[in-house]
Chain A
Amino acid sequence: MSFRYDIRLGGSGGQGLIMMGIILAEAIGVYDGKEVAQTQSYGPEARGGSSKAEVVVSDEEIDYPKAMKVDLLLTMNQKALDEYYQDLKPDGLLIVDSTFVKTVPVANAVQIPFTRIARDRFKKEMVANIVALGAISELSSIVSKKAIEAAVLSRVPKGTEKLNRDALKAGMAAAKRMRKSGPPPEADTWENEDI
């Protein structure tokens, strides 16, 4: 059976989701050497409105270029999470920007405040998407850290390389801390329930 891995990035216009999708596709496709197709969907507004980017990864020619059942869902706001959560596979990876996402549907969702990290550490909310890319490369094996770094540096404007590299590392570090502490244990019995 052929391998297919569907990634969806959702949020609102202006959060850099399409740029994230492009960088992720370039990292996985050009630098890691897999087949990729990246698509997007957004409204006519320049900012605000829903924005979505998708990356399909495979080891063979990709037919349908949009995500079907999602292996990795990253959402930068609550609306996107509520809308797309149903498409996530049962064993899929869910990453949310906890700056804006307050209610998560599953215990094992990875909650990292990408926008707050960008705002506090770098004084630029703009790099929240790069922080999030760092987290993806730490939490998922779909893209290598070297590839994501190379792709980020090839796509960002000249003169912003250091800022973006630091943002990427901050995302990796935040995800690593999350991994160390581990997700909250899943309830396997109902014994503690008050009756």
Chain B
Amino acid sequence: MKKRNVNEVLLQGNEAVAEGALRAGCRFFAGYPITPATEIAEIMSVKLPRLDGTFIQMEDEIASLGAVIGASLTGTKSMTATSGPGFSLMQENLGFACIAEVPCVLVNVMRGGPSTGLPTYPAQGDVMQARWGTHGDHPMIALCASTVRECFDLTIKAFNLSERFRNPVILLLDEVVAHMREKVTLPEEGLVEIFDRVKPKVPPEWYIPYEDTPAGVPPMASFGEGYRYHVTGLTHDVRGFPTSRPDEIGPFIARLFRKISQRFPEIQMGEVDQVDGADITVIAYGSVARSAKRAVRDARERGIKAGFVKLTTIWPFMKSVVEPVLKTSKVVLVPEMNMGQISREVKRVNQGYTRVVTLNKVDGTIITPEEILDRIIEVA
């Protein structure tokens, strides 16, 4: 036995999410327990009260996200965690958070679906739901972790992005990553970058809650600090009241998109390895990215020029990373635990550059490195 490094801990993906949330400053959690996300709620229920925070088990997932939005309006960083069935129920309030521009973090640990599906088995079937699950035109930010350390880092990143852009941020995990334990060394307290929402500097009577700014993100007043404004799910004017004037509606929706689209580089993260001149490049995310990494390594040992791309940011889709790969690779392979969701995005960006092939698995088990390697050999 070696001398123990006290900062090293064996942590589960869900445990790392909870640790990351607390480190990011989350002090409110409302949720409804569901496998395979329950551990996040369990830990928050123990740790939040000790930090003067609040944990509420709500009657369902609709109410859970409602409570989270309400808490966030008071200036408290707030989150919920769920899995497929609960994620479906949250879609209504997710849209509310988008239009009212309320920062919040929603963790969705993906399990087999549709409906109650496979509570304990992994899938990646909610990728498109994360983007388009709530109705109406809206931008969305979704991140996807493939290691326990990433569960910690990306939860913090999710809070930072939601605070910066006043938009809900979805963290997608799959059952494998959420329940996996790995040895991690968490960074010390001061070494984590934390971003807090910008508050108004003007007195309450001058405050215009939805006024445009160069960044497109209006300063956000906390309820209870003397600022009064109207929050509604109806399309609203700069003062927060419902409007039916096209000259107000158009610029408002355009601003919701602009605030995110003009700052893609701050949001989009991924890993790109040896894609220059690759005969085949594998694009993957979540736990499957780990299988893909192994398969690419094994393919290289067999003399195949294989590249690897991991998508850490799922939405907004990383066209800037994927397009150059499509231009230079002879084949691009997209393995996913669904019938083809991100592969659709890759094909949308492709525009005739190269051949895009898929490897889809929906039997409740992770795609193995052998299966990806076989497909690489078949199509390369």
**A interacts with B:** yes
Which listed residue, A38, A43, A144, touches B182 by the CB 8 Å rule? A38
User: In the complex, which residue of chain B has the Cβ closest to the Cβ of A64?
Assistant: B294
A25 within 8 A of B: yes
State whether B181 touches A37 (Cβ < 8 A): yes
Q: Hey, which chain B residues are within 8 Å of A25, CB to CB? A: 10, 181, 183
Residues A38 and B181 in contact in the complex (CB < 8 Å), given A44-B35, A64-B368: yes
Are B1 and A36 neighbours in the complex by a CB distance under 8 Å?
A: no
Indicate whether B196 reaches chain A with its CB closer than 8 angstroms.
no
**Complex Cα gap A8–B334 (Å):** 29
Interface: A35 (CB within 8 A): yes
A26 at the binding interface (Cβ < 8 Å) = yes
Are A64 and B290 in contact (CB-based, < 8 A)? yes
* Cα of A150 to Cα of B3 in the assembled complex, Å: 12
B4 within 8 A of A: yes
Alpha-carbon distance between A23 and B366 when the two chains are bound, in angstroms: 24
Bound state CA distance, A63 and B181, in angstroms?
13
Q: Does A40 contact B (CB under 8 A)?
A: yes
Q: Chain A contact residues: over half helix, strand or loop, or mixed?
A: mixed
- The secondary structure that dominates the B interface is mixed
* Contact between chains at A29 and B290 (CB < 8 Å): no
| A44 surroundings in chain B (CB, below 8 A) | 35, 118-120
Q: Which chain A positions have C-beta within 8 A of B176?
A: 39, 65-66
Q: Known: A30-B10, A36-B10. Is A68-B369 also a contact (CB below 8 A)? A: yes
Q: Is B76 part of the binding interface, using a Cβ–Cβ cutoff of 8 Å?
A: no
Interchain nearest-CB distance for A99 vs B (Å): 26
In the bound complex, residues from chain B placing their C-beta under 8 Å from that of A41 are: 120-121, 365
| Nearest CB on A from B73, distance (A) | 37
Residues of chain A touching chain B, judged by Cβ–Cβ distance below 8 Å, are 22, 25-26, 29-33, 35-44, 62-66, 68, 144, 146-147, 150
Q: Beyond A38-B10, A65-B287, A65-B290: 4 further Cβ-contacts under 8 Å?
A: A29-B8, A31-B1, A39-B179, A41-B121
